[in-house]
Chains A and B, each alone.
Chain A
Amino acid sequence: MSNPSYAYYPGCSLHASAGEYDLSTRELFAALGVKLTEIPDWFCCGATPAHNVDELLSLSLCAKNFELAEQVGGDVAVACAACFSRLKFTQHTLEANETKRVQVEKALDAPLKIDRTVKHLLEILVRDYGLQRLSEKVSRPLSGLKVACYYGCLLTRPPDVPNLDCVEAPTIMEDLIEAAGGTPVEWTHRMECCGANFTLSRPGVVLQLSNNILKSAKDAGADCILVACPLCHGNLDIRQKEIENTHSTDYGLPVLYVTQLVGLACGLTPDKLGLEALIVNPMPLLKKKGLL
């Protein structure tokens, strides 16, 4: 069975702080035989700042990226939860609102082409590739690894926009981890906000919110946290030491991207997954569990 190919939209983070997410995505998809073609000359989706300042700017940035994606075939594959949200929001808004369509077309100076299907990597792995086929590719099952699957705010919300899974009680990440042989833990904070980009303007907020998440995962007995968003990753991983210091505690919870953990299960070596780029070192845990 031949796999569909995808127009890959990495987003800015994956070319910067989340380089390991980009690397592991490319390596995993190559290993699975799924072709990703990076959209030529793609640029920022506008993320949180653009739509807070100027909605037309935000919509136009995404609409332009859709136009660029026309050069590459297949559904649009997105890694970052924020890019995913903005692209989906653009489609949702412009499909319903004639006035805004006209404005954006004027800004682009071109007719709108936004009807491409946008998919998060999770959807591609779980639905397009399929859990059954994925589990057949697993050569190193994540046996005994207790994983706290963390969704954050944007993957499923708001209702009727991303349509990734059930809005408040999704299971797509848990399903994926089970297929990779791991054990998802039941925990309470998998849908709570990590503080997102307040990490720059009001880090105190992030220290508090992300602490709640880490604590909840630890209390549930998780060995590590699984994420699908570079910003969540930044808050939970990069700031983890600071959170521990502020709250006089010790979590030591590695935070891994979906592609890293699934890639590991599929037999990829740590250098192809960028594991060394993680701040909270996952190596001792993975060694202990016999995964290296």
Chain B
Amino acid sequence: MSRIGVFVCHCGENISRTVDVEQVAAKAALIPGVAYATDYKYMCSDPGQGLLKKAITEQKLSHIVVAACSPRMHELTFRKAVASAGLNPFLCEMANIREHCSWVHEDRTEATTKAIEIVTMMVERVKKNRTLDTITVPVTKRALVIGGGIAGIQAALDIADAGHQVVLVEREPSIGGHMAQLSETFPTLDCSQCIMTPKMVDVANHPNITMHTYSEIEQVDGYIGNFQVTVRKKARSVDEDKCTGCGICIEKCPIRKIPNSFDCNLGMRPAIYVPFPQAVPNTPVIDRENCTMFKTGKCGLCQKVCGPGAVDYQQQDQLVVEDVGAIVVATGFDLYNISEKPKGSPIKGYGEFGHGKIPDVIDGMTFERLASASGPTGGKILRPSDGKEPKQVVFIQCVGSRAREKGISYCSKICCMYTAKHTMLYKHKVHDGQAYVFFMDARVPGKSYDEFWRRAIEEEEAVYIRGMVSRLYQKGDKVVVMGSDIAVGVQAEIEADLVVLATAVQPRSGADRLAQKLGISYDNYQFYSEAHAKLRPVECATAGIYLAGACQGPKDIPDSVSQASAAAAKVMTLFAKDRLEREPIVAKINEAGCVGCFYCKKVCAYGAVEEKEIRDRQGNLIKIIAHINPGICAGCGTCQATCPSKSVELNGYTDEQIVAMIEAL
């Protein structure tokens, strides 16, 4: 016979205001099987938990019902308390009389009646509870980092420095990401390359890091602690082991007029190339679409001049399977290309700005390349159309961002600061030049950020005009900027030599496809979703997958680095144990009843159902039935509802328990 204890919480006044808690406890005491019932002001508090533990010992209680808030709030709290008193924690259930009762009702009598019914149901249910044991699964102490920008690099280095193996996968031929493209960084104006390239070298030299560059994620299987990730290493056409990085192939390549995307198409590169001189690895890649050898079968010059014989035209894509226990996603961002209006997208484009038509209307990243010492102009600010030094430059903020009617409602966060930086870089290089900035608001709330922005105005003499720009058009060799100056209430019209657009930050193209492979969620804009905006900001809802950098939302370098280190810390926490504990709320197959129809396999969203062979003692196959991998099962219960022979049971939510609850009503 069970000896059930019922503990009714007042939750301060949250419950007792509308529910007569004393009456609930009194009625609960009368239910058959209930040995003890009481109420208390705050059950979750230390004295409340003490009361619970004391009653378990003194009253020799066998099952517990806590009538209080939602189990999402305090189930774990009470189960821990119950366990510390020596009971199996899964013999404790919560009756939610706060969210489901006191908060949503006004009439005290009716609410009290409902609370008694909820408690009665949970008492009948707990009678059918079985003791369950926590599941443990092994952990592969090896991490995968997707994306080799600053966030991915930081996460990889932190995890590797903690002594764990890291696999770093990068889509481009070199790691470095957008930060390698930047000229100088706010708010200190230190050179981006100078702080970035040493970290890239650290990654290359780290004994615990394996790099797959020019590679993409093909497939992800498994679950937390035990992922199997298939990586497609795209054919470089150059053998990474043989290549010494001498660069003679690049020098001799006869095709030299391919726009270099690393330089925002301002400069040209050959068909065999490294994206930039400081690339890691310093192994060239052949752009097969533009290579004469691949187009016509004639040329082969790079192979002839290569001393170590590293050039390999026959090289194929390779699929590599990596076993890892945790995944950090750090795929970063793209800048919104406003001259393109993506088909089927709610994003509407900015035809009125002439971007893509007027050569001297460029985006922020292009300006970075113009200002960069390693850029196509050697760091001289020269405009694309005629190579002249622009004397009047107009910067336009919030292009695409914060424009709900154009399809993007969020703030891109980094533009206010980088535009202020651009005006300074420009002034430092063109002393007699004038920078104008059209802006909506200055959003500069970071450490030393406001001071930096003020400096752009007060010391570097940038003219800030509060207002929006309606149109840009070419007039002779000038670009006319038509806008409003709402501070003065007039139309503003500036004839500029160069216009720089601070276009919106968007997730990297293909972010949705990667998310679908990983089984993680994303928002309308395809930014990846964290498990909780405030309390779990670097974890995905999918266990074992973590987020770092701008793939989760627009972020500057300090924020990306912080989040990357946080993600790395989460991975290390996971790797601190040899086995991983999981709640035993998983489905179980009754092997005698299962006929192997595998309806459960069809409906399982998590891929937890496997096939299992049942053999007799002689080893003859009797039948193939379903088996549920407890490491993967998320406890959703769909299989239990689907099984035609009632051979699946979800621990903690068995048919028996649910029927008992319904019958108690």
Q: Do the two chains belong together in a single complex?
A: yes
Tell me which residues from 159 to 202 in chain A have a Cβ below 8 Å from any Cβ of chain B.
Answer: 159-160, 166-169, 188, 191-192
Find chain B residues with CB under 8 A from A158 CB: 405
CB distance from B639 to the nearest CB of A (A): 44
Write the A127-168 contact mask toward B (1 if CB under 8 angstroms, else 0). Answer: 000000000000000000000000000000011100000111
B352 touches A169 (CB 8 A): yes
Find chain A residues with CB under 8 A from B433 CB: none
Given A158-B405, A159-B406, A188-B471, 16 further pairs, Cβ under 8 A: A159-B348, A166-B341, A166-B351, A168-B350, A168-B351, A168-B352, A168-B470, A168-B471, A169-B350, A169-B351, A188-B473, A188-B475, A188-B480, A191-B470, A192-B471, A192-B482
Find chain A residues with CB under 8 A from B348 CB: 159, 166-167
CB distance from A190 to the nearest CB of B (A): 10
Q: Which 7 A-B pairs have the closest CB atoms?
A: A169-B351, A159-B405, A168-B352, A188-B473, A169-B352, A168-B351, A166-B351
B405 touches A166 (CB 8 A): no
Find chain A residues with CB under 8 A from B341 CB: 166
A191 touches B405 (CB 8 A): no
A166 touches B349 (CB 8 A): yes
State in angstroms the CA–CA spacing of A191 and B480 once bound together.
15
Find chain B residues with CB under 8 A from A192 CB: 471, 482
State in angstroms the CA–CA spacing of A158 and B480 once bound together.
23
Find chain B residues with CB under 8 A from A188 CB: 471, 473-475, 480
Query: What residue of chain B has the Cβ atom nearest to residue A170's Cβ?
Result: B351
Find chain A residues with CB under 8 A from B475 CB: 188
What are 11 pairs between A and B in contact, CB < 8 Å? Answer: A166-B341, A166-B348, A166-B349, A166-B351, A167-B405, A168-B350, A169-B350, A169-B351, A188-B473, A188-B480, A191-B471
Find chain B residues with CB under 8 A from A160 CB: 405
State in angstroms the CA–CA spacing of A158 and B350 once bound together.
14
Could you count the A-B residue pairs with CB atoms below 8 Å apart for me: how many are there? Answer: 30
B352 touches A191 (CB 8 A): yes
Find chain B residues with CB under 8 A from A191 CB: 352, 470-471
Query: What residue of chain B has the Cβ atom nearest to residue A169's Cβ?
Result: B351
The A interface, classified by DSSP as helix, strand, loop or mixed, is loop
State in angstroms the CA–CA spacing of A37 and B603 once bound together.
58
State in angstroms the CA–CA spacing of A201 and B431 once bound together.
47
B406 touches A169 (CB 8 A): no
Write the B432-475 contact mask toward A (1 if CB under 8 angstroms, else 0). Answer: 00000000000000000000000000000000000000110111
Query: What residue of chain B has the Cβ atom nearest to residue A160's Cβ?
Result: B405
Query: What residue of chain B has the Cβ atom nearest to residue A171's Cβ?
Result: B351
Query: What residue of chain B has the Cβ atom nearest to residue A209's Cβ?
Result: B491
CB distance from A80 to the nearest CB of B (A): 24
Tell me which residues from 404 to 438 in chain B have a Cβ below 8 Å from any Cβ of chain A.
Answer: 405-406
Query: What residue of chain A has the Cβ atom nearest to residue B350's Cβ?
Result: A168
CB distance from B93 to the nearest CB of A (A): 44
State in angstroms the CA–CA spacing of A168 and B480 once bound together.
16
CB distance from B358 to the nearest CB of A (A): 11
State in angstroms the CA–CA spacing of A192 and B471 once bound together.
9
State in angstroms the CA–CA spacing of A167 and B406 once bound together.
9
A169 touches B473 (CB 8 A): no
Query: What residue of chain A has the Cβ atom nearest to residue B407's Cβ?
Result: A159
Most buried by B among A160, A166, A169, A192: A169
Find chain A residues with CB under 8 A from B351 CB: 166, 168-169
State in angstroms the CA–CA spacing of A160 and B407 once bound together.
11
State in angstroms the CA–CA spacing of A158 and B341 once bound together.
19
Most buried by A among B350, B351, B475, B482: B351
CB distance from A195 to the nearest CB of B (A): 13
State in angstroms the CA–CA spacing of A166 and B482 once bound together.
19
State in angstroms the CA–CA spacing of A167 and B407 once bound together.
12
Find chain B residues with CB under 8 A from A159 CB: 348, 405-406
State in angstroms the CA–CA spacing of A166 and B405 once bound together.
12
Find chain B residues with CB under 8 A from A166 CB: 341, 348-349, 351
State in angstroms the CA–CA spacing of A19 and B352 once bound together.
33
Find chain A residues with CB under 8 A from B471 CB: 168, 188, 191-192
State in angstroms the CA–CA spacing of A99 and B402 once bound together.
29
